[in-house]
Amino acid sequence: MPTAVEATPAAAAPVHPHDGILVGPPPIVDITALRKSYGTNEVLKGIDMKVARGEVICIIGKSGSGKSTLLRCVNGLEEFQEGALSVNGKKLLHDNPAAMRELRQQVGMIFQSFNLFPHLSVGRNIMLAPTLVKARSAQEAEAQARKLLQRVGLAEKFDAMPDQLSGGQQQRVAIARALAMEPQVLLCDEITSALDPELVGEVLRVVESLAQEGMTLMMVTHEMAFARKVSDRVIFMHQGRVHEQGTPAQLFGSPQTPELQQFLSSLHD
């Protein structure tokens, strides 16, 4: 069985469809027996999850199932009490600012409410972190920012202010901003939930292209059609646990547990 706390090659192991244990190179995100509570309320009740490099994972479930909390644990926005979490072989250490800084350069996050910096132009939003954290020069950062804006289809908005953009445009800028740090993993926390329906498509198209280029994605989403189309694995969370997981065909096509069946049918109401 792979242990995957340090960067050691995984031993060969059988593939169990519901364990998600993979053969081959070490997982890029490795979560072991993770538990998290808010006071007396335990919201994550022992999560085991391994994400391979280049894998696209969609996490679905009812609100309160712990999906966003789990995502936020991966980049350290939430602290967990028990268990272990490693990214790229390195353990997540909350109390070590240097380690956290390193981790957050490997893991990027896109938020439901975009969280663009309102006092900076679009271009400066994207340039800020590379200049401060990676000590890029202003010219390099600007060139990179322009390229990324081009990539998300907003090349002409370099000097615009965030409040001049639509929700979909802001979210695409947020994606560009996260990509500027050249992360290995992107965490997407319900990134289209706050968007008007007609703006959802433009954002999902960008994410799909990222997936096709081989970016590792962990997405909490309600967009089931998107999950079906783009993800390698879908994980259904229920009451703080991984309840069921499998390929989109398996999960949406033949849900095994009553909770998942109920969840999927409630979506069609």
Partner 1 sequence: MVEFSIWDILRNLLMAARWTVTLSLIAFIGGGLVGLMLLVARLSKVRGVERAVGAYVQVFQGTPLLMQLFLAYFGIALFGIKTSPWTAAAVALTLYTSAYLTEIWRGCVASIPKGQWEAAQSLALNFAEQLRHVVLPQALRIAVPPTVGFLVQVIKGTALASVIGFVELTKAGSMISNATFQPFLVYACVALLYFALCFPVSLVAQSLERKLHANRR
Q: In what order do the strands lie in the sheet with 41-51?
A: 41-51, 29-38, 82-87, 90-91
Token output for 201: 């498509």
Q: Locate tokens 């894998």: which residue?
A: 55
Q: In this structure, are residues 17 and 246 in contact, taking their beta carbons and an 8 Å threshold? A: yes
Cβ distance to partner 1 smaller for residue 22 or 92: 92
Query: How near is the Cβ of 113 to partner 1 at its closest, in Å?
Result: 5
Query: How near is the Cβ of 9 to partner 1 at its closest, in Å?
Result: 28
For partner 1, which stretch binds (CB under 8 A), given 5-13, 63-71, 108-116, 206-214? 108-116
133 binds partner 1 (CB under 8 A): yes
Strand partners, 108: 186
Distance CA 117, CA 120 (A): 6
Cβ distance to partner 1 smaller for residue 133 or 249: 133
Among residues 4, 22, 60, 178, the one that binds partner 1 under rule CB under 8 A: 178
Q: What angle do CA 122, 126, 129 make, to 5 degrees?
A: 140
The letter for the amino acid at 139 is Q
5 binds partner 1 (CB under 8 A): no
88 binds partner 1 (CB under 8 A): no
80 binds partner 1 (CB under 8 A): no
Strand, helix or coil at 174?
Answer: helix
Strand, helix or coil at 169?
Answer: helix
Q: In this structure, are residues 19 and 27 in contact, taking their beta carbons and an 8 Å threshold? A: no
Angle, helices 138-151/122-133, rounded to nearest 10 degrees: 130
Query: How near is the Cβ of 127 to partner 1 at its closest, in Å?
Result: 11
For partner 1, which stretch binds (CB under 8 A), given 36-44, 45-53, 126-134, 228-236? 126-134
For strand 90-91 and strand 41-51, is the pairing parallel, antiparallel, or unpaired?
Answer: unpaired
Cβ distance to partner 1 smaller for residue 125 or 245: 125
172 binds partner 1 (CB under 8 A): no
Among residues 3, 6, 25, 101, the one that binds partner 1 under rule CB under 8 A: 101
User: Between 136 and 165, how does the x/- string for binding to partner 1 read (CB under 8 A)?
Assistant: ------------------------------
Residue ranges binding partner 1 (CB under 8 A): 75-77, 97, 100-105, 107-109, 111, 113, 115-119, 128-129, 132-133, 174, 177-178, 181
